[in-house]
């Protein structure tokens, strides 16, 4: 990724934060010195500051959309508190096969990490970490359902595991029972950051990525 390419993915920039449109299929931070990751390109995002910005939270490798960075130490501390206190409103779009029978609901299902043969996933466990996701169906068509998810906690794979628990795993998510051979149809659509007391939150929206547009259109998405 060139400096121009990552700079073109900046959705918002101010003195505290950057919000980027993360591409699907690229890890946010490195797990191997030989593998590419989004974080190693952050040096192109200094925009006059002495240090590169840093991650305020994480997105899965195959999830696209809004990724928040802090531009300096004080910004990262502030963002860390907002995320830890559950004050950041995150909206995700997912496309699933068939879909739930209801039009909206809440999944309150504790999760824990299960490791088998060197692989892992999140499973339901009453003794696990509390995990809550509010959801509603935004459209249906062609045997698909377009779902908006608002996670109230920030557990790993939370939306993926919770939608699977409803019997409708996300397209392109075989780990949780979804159709294989497709890119993951999960997109971090928007984020709302209450950065200033007494002021409306900063709301940033990421455009739908190319790999889910056809499925969204089948469910009635107008392209906006």
In this model, does residue 40 exceed pLDDT 70? yes
Q: What is the mean pLDDT of residues 57-85?
A: 96
The answer to the question of residue 120 being in a domain is: yes
Lowest mean pLDDT among 35-44, 126-135, 191-200: 35-44
Note down the domain range covering 35.
Answer: 3-218
pLDDT at 35: 63
The answer to the question of residue 224 being in a domain is: no
Residue 75: which H helix or E strand, with range?
A: helix 73-84
* Domain of residue 42, CATH code: 3.30.2350.10
The answer to the question of residue 28 being in a domain is: yes
Say whether 98 is catalytic: no
The answer to the question of residue 223 being in a domain is: no
Q: How many CA atoms lie within 13 A of 82 on its CB side?
A: 24
Q: What is the mean pLDDT of residues 46-71?
A: 97
- DSSP letter at 210 equals H
In this model, does residue 221 exceed pLDDT 90? yes
The answer to the question of residue 208 being in a domain is: yes
How many structural domains comprise the chain?
A: 1
pLDDT at 224: 77
Rounded Cα distance between 127 and 112, Å, is 8
The mean pLDDT value of the chain amounts to: 95
The answer to the question of residue 99 being in a domain is: yes
Inter-residue contact 113 to 156 (CB < 8 Å): yes
Q: Torsion angle, CA of 78/79/84/85, rounded to 10 degrees?
A: 70
The answer to the question of residue 118 being in a domain is: yes
* 77-86: long-range pairs with CB below 8 Å, 24+: 78/16, 78/195, 79/16, 79/17, 79/193, 80/56, 82/193, 82/194, 82/195, 83/56, 83/57, 83/154, 86/152, 86/153, 86/154
- Say which of 21, 60, 62, 173 is annotated catalytic: 60
The answer to the question of residue 148 being in a domain is: yes
Rounded Cα distance between 107 and 43, Å, is 39
In this model, does residue 213 exceed pLDDT 80? yes
- 181-194 b/e (C-beta count within 10 Å ≥ 16 → b): ebbbbbbbbbbbbe
pLDDT at 12: 98
Q: Which residues pair with 144 in a beta bridge?
A: 97, 141
């Amino acid at each position: 990724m060139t400096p121009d390419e990552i700079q073109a993915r900046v959705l918002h920039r101010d003195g505290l934060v950057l919000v980027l449109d993360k591409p699907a299929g690229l890890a946010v931070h490195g797990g191997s010195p030989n593998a590419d990751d989004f974080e190693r390109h952050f040096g192109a995002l200094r925009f006059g500051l002495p240090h590169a910005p840093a991650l305020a939270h994480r997105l899965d490798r195959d999830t696209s959309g809004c990724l928040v960075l802090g531009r300096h130490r004080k910004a990262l501390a502030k963002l860390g508190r907002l995320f830890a206190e559950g004050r950041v409103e995150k909206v995700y779009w997912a496309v699933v096969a068939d879909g739930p029978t209801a039009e909206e609901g809440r999944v309150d299902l504790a999760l824990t990490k299960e490791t088998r043969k060197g692989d892992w996933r999140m499973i339901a466990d009453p003794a696990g970490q509390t995990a809550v996701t509010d959801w509603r169906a935004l459209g249906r068509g062609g045997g698909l359902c377009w779902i908006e998810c608002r996670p109230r906690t920030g557990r790993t794979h939370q939306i993926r595991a919770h939608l699977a628990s409803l019997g409708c795993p996300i397209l392109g998510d075989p780990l949780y029972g979804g159709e294989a051979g497709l890119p993951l149809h999960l997109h971090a659509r928007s984020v709302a950051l209450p950065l200033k007391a007494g002021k409306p939150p900063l709301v940033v929206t990421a455009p739908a990525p190319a790999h889910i547009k056809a499925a969204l259109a089948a469910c009635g998405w107008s392209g906006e």
